[in-house]
Amino acid sequence: MAAANLQEVVVRLAKEYGEQKPPPLKDPFDFVIYENVSYLVTDEYRWKAFRNLKQTIGLRPEDILSASSDQFRSVVELAGVDKKGRVGKLIRAAQIAMKEFGGKVSSVLELPQKKAVTALKKFPSIGEASAEKIMLFCGKGDELPLESNGLRVLVRIGFGAEEKNYNVMYRNARSAIADQVVRENTWLVSAYLLLRRHGQTICKTSAPFCSKCVVADVCAYGQRKLR
Ligand code: SF4
């Protein structure tokens, strides 16, 4: 089996899935709200919940902090499986935005990448990968963040080994791809979204469709399964 090359993998996924676009947001706080507004839902549903919040309450931290319980009622209806928790997280995010950023979270875009990621991790539901993704979608950073779907795809292909500890597996995969990452924003955004899409649709957690996969010939897991 030929060794996998990340750039070739991304080219093949791009041919398969076409152009993938991130949510049309530009402000880091919008992304924080987008992440927190709903839980365990599809992208389409999350976007609907986000738009609903924007229309009924507004997206500024001060809008969220001054919203009434009536305004929050329709937000809760679209909150996914964690209805009460979502409202608490939105309010907490708005409080952090005011306290830590003076209401202007976009100021993180002026910070060096590591400091910006650390700052964004103060928000609820924002870990290192989410923080890097927010920076990337706002045009900053030169790392390829991986959410769980993209990580699963890369590890199965052979970039790093499967580990029980998610953080260890994440770091191993990132070092395995480090010299193949194209450190340019358009490529990074595209690679992030394509790997995620592939993990959501073909390289599923429990039953990957390896016989339909466009990178099966360079995938260690796929080759074992299809033998
Ligand atoms: S061959 Fe199978 S395991 Fe490998 S990337 Fe494709 S779907 Fe995933």
Domain spans, the chain: 6-20+145-226, 28-137
Q: Is 67 in the pocket of ligand 1 (CB under 6 A)?
A: no
Integer Cα distance of 142 and 161 in angstroms: 23
Classified as helix, coil or strand, 80 is strand
Instruction: Band the pLDDT of 69: cuts 50, 70, 90.
Output: confident
Pick the CATH number of 28-137 from 1.10.1660.10, 1.10.340.30, 3.10.20.740, 3.40.50.460: 1.10.340.30
pLDDT in tens, 74-99: 878 777 777 778 889 999 999 999 99
Instruction: Report CA-CA distances (Å) from 127 to 44, 80, 122.
Output: 22, 20, 9
Residue whose CA lies nearest to ligand 1 atom number 2: 210
Asked if the model's pLDDT at residue 165 lies above 80, the reply is yes
In angstroms, what is the span from residue 4 Cα to ligand 1's centroid?
12
- CATH fold for domain 6-20+145-226: Endonuclease Iii, domain 2 (1.10.1670)
In angstroms, what is the span from residue 152 Cα to ligand 1's centroid?
9
Across all residues in the chain, what is the average pLDDT? 93
Contact 137, 25 (CB under 8 A): yes
Q: Is 153 in the pocket of ligand 1 (CB under 6 A)?
A: yes
According to DSSP H, which parts of 102-219 are helical?
113-120, 128-137, 148-157, 166-177, 185-201
pLDDT in tens, 118-142: 999 999 999 999 999 999 999 999 9
Contact 54, 114 (CB under 8 A): no
Q: Is 155 in the pocket of ligand 1 (CB under 6 A)?
A: no
Task: Tokens for 182, please give them.
Answer: 């194209």
Comparing 70-84, 103-117, 144-158, the range with the smallest average pLDDT is 70-84
Contact 144, 177 (CB under 8 A): yes
Contact 46, 99 (CB under 8 A): no
- The torsion angle over the Cα atoms of residues 90, 138, 54 and 49, rounded to 10 degrees, is -70
Q: Is 150 in the pocket of ligand 1 (CB under 6 A)?
A: no
Does the global pTM surpass 0.85?
Answer: yes
Mean pLDDT of 181-200: 97
Q: Is 134 in the pocket of ligand 1 (CB under 6 A)?
A: no
| Residue of 156, 162, 225 best suited for mutating to test ligand 1, as the one with most atoms within 8 Å of CB | 156
Classified as helix, coil or strand, 101 is helix
